[in-house]
Chains A and B, each alone.
Chain A
Amino acid sequence: MLKVENLIVNYGGIEAVKGISLDVPDGSIITLVGANGAGKSTTLRSIAGLVKAKSGSITLDGEELLGLSTPDIVSKGITMVPEGRRVFPDMTVLENLKIGAYLRKDSLKDDIDHVYDLFPRLKERSWQAAGTLSGGEQQMLAVGRALMSRPKIIMMDEPSLGLAPIIVQGIFDIIREINRQGTTVLLIEQNANMALKTADYGYVMETGKISLQGTGEELLANEQVKELYLGKSKQ
């Protein structure tokens, strides 16, 4: 279980995360929703070790992760699909998958086949430069690349951003599928409706703090969430 306690992170001269606590139990899909600038990305980036936290604690199965470098955190089994996908544009699809398994020394063949089973589109484009893929295909590749490290926990930063609704549906189907196959998912989304429908448990983040939490259904039914994040006003 990944546990975040009283995490405080300064980012760009302001306190972007003001003491939040989250539990991410094994095998679950947990989502963190909230408006732009609420501190969701900063939270994820500090779990991944890309941003230094000021104080608090981040533990995986009781082991402190705070202060470890990003490659060390990846080697513990936590990986992240960054916002904007960030595939390596000049590398082929296959190379992007191989680099996702950079820390592994065993054979990658089964994992590559597994990713190609999940995303047949990628198999067709195996030798194509990743920069030539469409946005949705790049998102598939970014997810596939993250799976190549065989993570226990996969964190996703706005996977639906900038994608057509039909593709967004496909991405959420994949998130459920990955989870069903045993990977824990920590998802941050502005698309609160989709995220809460998919997640087992959700946290609502507002200006660096957790303002609400509950199961997906509870939050979807909450009047405040409806008004602020689902675009439905009180009748």
Chain B
Amino acid sequence: MSVVLPYLLSGISVGGQYALIAIGYTMVYGILRLINFAHGDVFMVAGVMMVYLSASLPLYVSMPLMLILTVIIGFAIERAAYKPLRSAPRMSIMISAIGVSYLLQNLAAYITGGLAQQYPTVPGISASVNIGPATTKVVTLVTPFLVIALVFALVMLINHTKIGMAMRAVSKDYDTAQLMGIRINAVISATFVIGSFLAAVGSVLYFTNYTAVTYTSGAMPGLKAFVAAVFGGIGSIPGAVIGAFIIGISENIVKGLEAMLGMAGINLNIGLATFSDAVTFALLIIILVVKPTGLFGEKATEKV
């Protein structure tokens, strides 16, 4: 147990961070049928902004400012790069998303000089704590609770508010939603605002744990979160959250598997820990082969 616990804790924590990013992928897909490749980079940009804002401003100003700026960036990306392509073939929007992804990475590379930047310490969650035999940061313990609270709030918003009802309608049927008087563009913007906000919160949790931000920092978490969204069934919010926890936990279990087996008297010196990312993608391949719509994905069949 003493060997498993730290890996499990960090798996739950990183899973929660992936979940916050994965929700952005899955909501945008649900409404636009677009894989927003720039989403992982929005997450990275949130981290970079926090580095520079906290250098000159106190935390209680820099953090809210970072959240607001990230939301504005997410909104602006949609208006500038996706909205003009609304009636274009889906492939065009996807290519535009890839373009935005590279644009953000290159801007960040230019601003940071391509160097890793030290993420500011956030009082309260950066401190270390001991859980029995394991030592971890407070953020590891806070993450799952914060994620659950945010997901609960999001589910309430979607199921019990007018804008949430509009989101559900738009994700099903553009024309009929408009006949109800719903403005599609406003709903799409709201989706990007929510997705970017959650990614910004995720970036605080993630970078408090990993401490360094580089211009490529969004790539791997972004990809993992995307895998989580597909794993859970893209378009489904509970699916994305559960998928993210499964992926976070399994990659960390793999990291610690050799040590755990060592305790049981089995010595494998094959460097299994380096395969933790491979496991994530192997999981994706398996789920796509066995259940292509993911754990909670909608069936493609429609009753006419």
Contact = CB atoms under 8 A, between A and B. Distances in A.
Q: Do these two chains really belong together in a complex?
A: yes
Interface of A: 48-50, 69-71, 74-75, 79-80, 82, 84, 86, 88-91, 95, 98-100, 102-103, 131, 145-146, 149
A79 B179 contact: yes
Contact of A50 (B169, B178, B181): B178
Nearest to B174: A50
B165 A95 contact: yes
A229 B126 CA distance: 77
A74 B176 contact: no
Nearest to A95: B165
Given A69-B183, A71-B182, A75-B181, A50 B165 contact: no
A1 to B, nearest CB: 22
B238 to A, nearest CB: 14
A158 to B, nearest CB: 13
Interface residues of B, number: 17
B166 interface: yes
Given A71-B183, A131-B303, A90 B178 contact: no
B169 A88 contact: yes
10 contacts: A49-B178, A71-B181, A86-B173, A86-B176, A88-B169, A98-B165, A102-B166, A103-B180, A149-B180, A149-B181
Contact of B181 (A84, A89, A103): A103
Interface of B: 162, 165-166, 168-169, 172-173, 175-176, 178-183, 303-304
A50 B178 CA distance: 8
B181 A48 contact: no
A108 B38 CA distance: 41
Contact of A99 (B165, B175, B303): B165
A147 B176 CA distance: 14
Contacts of A103: 180-181
Contacts of B304: 84
Contacts of B173: 86, 88
Contacts of A79: 179
Interface centre among B162, B173, B180, B183 (most CB of A within 10 A): B180
Nearest to A91: B168
B181 A74 contact: yes
A100 B181 CA distance: 8
Highest count of chain A CB atoms <10 Å: which of B166, B168, B176: B176
Contacts of A70: 175, 178-179, 181
